[in-house]
Amino acid sequence: MFIGWDWATESHDVTVMDESGKRIDRWEFAHTEEGFTKTLARMGKHGVPADLPVMIETTRGLAVDRLLAAGHPVVPVHPNAFHAMRARWGASKAKTDAGDSMKLADYLRTDGHLLPRLEPTEQATMDMQALTRQRADHVEAKVAAVNQLAALLDMHWPGGKVVFANLDSDIAMAFLERYPTPASATKLTVGRLEAWCKRRGYSGRQPGSVLIERLRAAPAAASRLSEAVVEQLVRVQTQLVQGIRTTIRLLDKSIADAVETHPYAPLFATMPRIGKVNLGQIIGEVGPLLERAQSCEQFIAEAGVVPVTRASAKSRSVTFRFATNRRARLALTQFADNNRHNSDWAAKIYNDARARQKRHPHAIRILARAWLRVMWACWRDGTCYDPVIHQANSKINAVTEAPLAA
């Protein structure tokens, strides 16, 4: 039996088809708990869930999670790929919910053996992925909030922006809360500023005299807002930045705690320059790829660090791969860019790529591809990373050839 599932936000349509292409059952149900319960029970009447694959036009969401939890093999198909197949069932490419569920079931019946199936991800890996993705979203929000604060200061208090750029981030936030307007900082002296910074653990990178001089030299703002409004705007934006920074620190601690207990962590924890957060990102994003990959080459391709080749009798092109797990590629390239400073093997791969006239992003992807082969070996053998076992650093010790006689 083959099942086609046309999903939507308010209702779903399901078609059950046998091996000959005959429609056995078809129904529509609402996006409610009762609807899902009755649908899964009705699907169960046609066989064991493990023998009832379902094709659906998404890789995630409530419907996919419920199907995987019930034990059904889920075969996702991209909407664009499914749309390209519509001509098989008629030149008009007509579209209805009932028709789509039937076409999905028929597509699964004829071509399902060529398409990959979703596999349930380990619970610990899913938790790690959720934590790291939430942290990435908060970092993005923090960058946006800091940029908004910088623009606010540039418009209403350029001197505050100068101090903000010269002080440590935590101290700069505290400074803006204490002195949110130009008028509030008019009585600030070198001694007061140095004492204030010392109480907050300032590193002393810039002396108070330099900070005061830069503060006084900043141009005056031509703001038409009242001082009370400027004060409120700066305080509110500063509190927003500080709140996001607090949540990021909490997520960092949660990620570090999760890494300590994750079964994949020992495999990669000894790799050079891989911190707790980056290790959590790699486990959360690369872990699911490892769990479902059938070969090392498939694993590397799904991580997005290899190009796409398009060749025919008349042309051939090798282009950047856009359709991939972007978060996994970002985590891997950040790791590769960091460890090339501590690993001679990684530095040689990067430098050789640069010597072949590869741009920095391309060279980093080449290095990330090499590290993925090491990760695959660790995963395949269940061994922790060791330069001696995996022959990573020994590859750079090439034997020097004797010079040829003239």
The ranges assigned to domains in the chain are 2-114, 126-256, 265-396
More confident residue, 193 or 140: 140
What pLDDT score was predicted for residue 391?
58
What pLDDT score was predicted for residue 93?
73
- Name the average pLDDT for the chain: 87
Q: Band of the pLDDT at 397, cuts 50, 70, 90?
A: very low
Is beta strand 316-319 parallel, antiparallel or unpaired with respect to 308-311? antiparallel
- Residue 208 belongs to what H/E stretch? helix 208-217
Contacts of 342 (CB under 8 A, 6+ apart): 272, 273
Q: Which of 368, 374, 332, 335 is nearest to 350 (CA)?
A: 368
Contacts of 381 (CB under 8 A, 6+ apart): none
The pair of three-digit structure tokens given for residue 115, joined into one six-digit string: 């398409």
User: pLDDT tens digit string along 150-173?
Assistant: 899 888 888 888 877 777 888 888
Q: Band of the pLDDT at 392, cuts 50, 70, 90?
A: low
What pLDDT score was predicted for residue 390?
66
Distance between CA 114 and CA 189 in Å, rounded? 73
In CATH, which of 2.30.30, 1.10.3470, 1.10.287, 2.30.230 is domain 126-256? 1.10.287
Distance between CA 267 and CA 381 in Å, rounded? 10
Q: Can you tell me the mean pLDDT for 230-253?
A: 94
pLDDT at 372 over 90: yes
Contacts of 2 (CB under 8 A, 6+ apart): 16, 17, 18, 19, 52, 53, 55, 105, 106, 108, 109, 112
Q: Band of the pLDDT at 291, cuts 50, 70, 90?
A: confident
pLDDT at 398 over 60: no
| Other C-beta atoms lying within 10 Å of the C-beta of residue 331 | 25
pLDDT at 40 over 50: yes
Cα distances (Å, whole numbers) of residue 238 to 10, 134, 159, 207, 233: 41, 21, 16, 24, 9
What pLDDT score was predicted for residue 393?
53
Residues 77-86: contacts with CB under 8 Å, at least 24 apart: 77/104, 77/107, 77/115, 82/57, 82/107
What pLDDT score was predicted for residue 400?
41
Asked whether the beta carbons of 328 and 286 are under 8 A apart, the reply is: yes
Q: Which of 106, 385, 114, 97 is nearest to 266 (CA)?
A: 385
Distance between CA 224 and CA 117 in Å, rounded? 61
DSSP secondary structure of 70-103 = HT--EEE--HHHHHHTGGGG-TT----HHHHHHH
pTM: 0.79
Q: Band of the pLDDT at 141, cuts 50, 70, 90?
A: very high
Asked whether the beta carbons of 309 and 317 are under 8 A apart, the reply is: yes
Q: Can you tell me the mean pLDDT for 22-37?
A: 93
What pLDDT score was predicted for residue 54?
93
User: pLDDT tens digit string along 59-104?
Assistant: 888 999 899 989 899 999 988 888 888 888 887 777 888 889 999 9
Which one-letter amino acid corresponds to residue 219?
P
The rounded percent of the chain whose pLDDT value lies above 70 is 96
Q: Band of the pLDDT at 131, cuts 50, 70, 90?
A: very high
Q: Which of 65, 60, 67, 66 is nearest to 3 (CA)?
A: 67
User: pLDDT tens digit string along 339-353?
Assistant: 999 888 999 999 999
The backbone torsions φ and ψ at residue 206, rounded to the nearest 5 degrees and listed phi first, read -120, 130
Distance between CA 41 and CA 397 in Å, rounded? 62
Asked whether the beta carbons of 20 and 11 are under 8 A apart, the reply is: no
User: pLDDT tens digit string along 45-58?
Assistant: 999 999 999 999 98
Asked whether the beta carbons of 221 and 182 are under 8 A apart, the reply is: yes
The region of weakest confidence among 270-274, 317-321, 334-338 is: 317-321
Q: Which CATH superfamily is domain 2-114 in?
A: ATPase, nucleotide binding domain (3.30.420.40)
pLDDT at 386 over 70: yes
pLDDT at 314 over 60: yes
Q: Band of the pLDDT at 149, cuts 50, 70, 90?
A: very high
| SS3 call for 23 | strand
